[in-house]
Chains A and B, each alone.
Chain A
């Protein structure tokens, strides 16, 4: 049988410029973190797309389940008082 030589999968996050957050841009395979960062530079930042790169092994990312969105995000739905517009402020105050 053919040996499984598949390199681990990494997710790549790039900060496009100072002050912005890192954003997911894609994935790639690499044997370790150094190779993942170098390959990420060559694949995802060949035209000055970034000033900083994060790589995270895909297996370390856990996600909420979109199928359960209704009940999962439900606690936020009936709490209108979390929004500033819920509160009445007298007209004399133009801005708060």
Chain B
């Protein structure tokens, strides 16, 4: 990983501290969502097994690599930014446990987004090489971030049912537009260029028009052919398999303690 921060030397302890917290939050978000699934009667182990077997869906964005410190910034700013737009709408979802998880997630994502933006700002105002690194990260993450909102409304298979059941409150395209409108001025402030020659403010609609999304790439990624799908699932499988003994040992220890207390 190419690690260069604002000091132009290496990432500081503060930055390592915040990134560790970021990771801890994200693990928590996974937990809230799996807990919500559990309330529907599916066990945690079953859900994780389906993930490892490639049966369960997960966000397309996780299949892209993170290769530089600037990527960490761009991901916090854009990926967590896109997630917030999605999740703010989902705070009003009709399924209670899911809605309550979203309220908590949104609060925490906001820290990630601002942290990411600050990383980008430090790099964008740094040396030429740092600014270049920030621009490359934006080039890389921009389109995958737009794809996070899912297929266009015309193509989305599940949207109609999800909208009818009020699980989903706003359409994919509406949310995507909201994200673009929110993010373009932020990129301008950073002095970075969004990699879309068709991006233009439309005075008539009051929104930014943007170029076509490469849906072939999106479908390839969600069907397992993104840059890191195999690596990501393999890491989950390995963690599950290699952690099995820890789970077993902790259970045995708890049982022993109970027996000691009972004796």
Q: Please give the residue numbers on chain A whose beta carbons come within 8 Å of chain B beta carbons, in ascending order.
A: 3-7, 9, 26-29, 31-32, 35, 42-43, 46-47
12 CB-based A-B contacts, threshold 8 Å:
A5-B247, A5-B248, A6-B44, A7-B250, A26-B100, A27-B38, A31-B250, A32-B257, A32-B258, A42-B24, A43-B31, A46-B24
CB B46 to nearest CB in A, in angstroms, measures: 9
User: Which residues of B48-101 are within 8 A (CB) of A?
Assistant: 100-101
Contact of B35 among A3, A4, A7, A28 (CB under 8 A): A28
Q: Considering the chains assembled together, what is the distance between the CA atoms of A42 and B31 in angstroms?
A: 12
Task: Select which of A7, A27, A32, A46 is within 8 A of B247 by beta carbon.
Answer: A7
Q: Are A28 and B31 in contact (CB under 8 A)?
A: yes
Count of chain A to chain B residue pairs whose CB atoms are closer than 8 Å in the complex: 40
Give, as a whole number of angstroms, the nearest-CB distance from B108 to chain A. Answer: 8
A28 CA to B257 CA in the complex, in Å?
A: 20
Q: How far is the CB of A43 from chain B (nearest CB, A)?
A: 5
List of B residues within 8 angstroms of A4 by Cβ:
45
Q: How many B residues have CB within 8 A of the partner chain?
A: 23
Residues of B within 8 A of A9 (CB): 38
Known: A9-B38, A43-B31, A46-B24. Is A29-B44 also a contact (CB below 8 A)?
yes
Q: Does B208 contact A (CB under 8 A)?
A: no
Residues of A within 8 A of B251 (CB): 5, 7, 31
Residues 215-263 of B contacting A (Cβ, < 8 Å): 244, 247-248, 250-251, 253-254, 257-258
CB–CB B254/A6 < 8 A: no
Chain B residues with Cβ below 8 Å from A5 are 45, 244, 247-248, 251
**Please, which residues of chain B bring their CB within 8 A of the CB of A27?**
35, 38
The listed residue (A3, A26, A31) touching B32 by CB distance below 8 A is A26
Q: Report the separation of the CA atoms of residues A3 and B101 in the bound assembly, to the nearest whole angstrom.
A: 30
Which residues of A lie under 8 Å from residue B104 when comparing CB positions? Answer: 26
CB pair A31 B253 closer than 8 Å: yes
In the complex, how many angstroms separate the beta carbon of A24 from the nearest chain B beta carbon?
9
Q: Give Cα A46–Cα B32 distance, bound, in whole angstroms.
A: 14
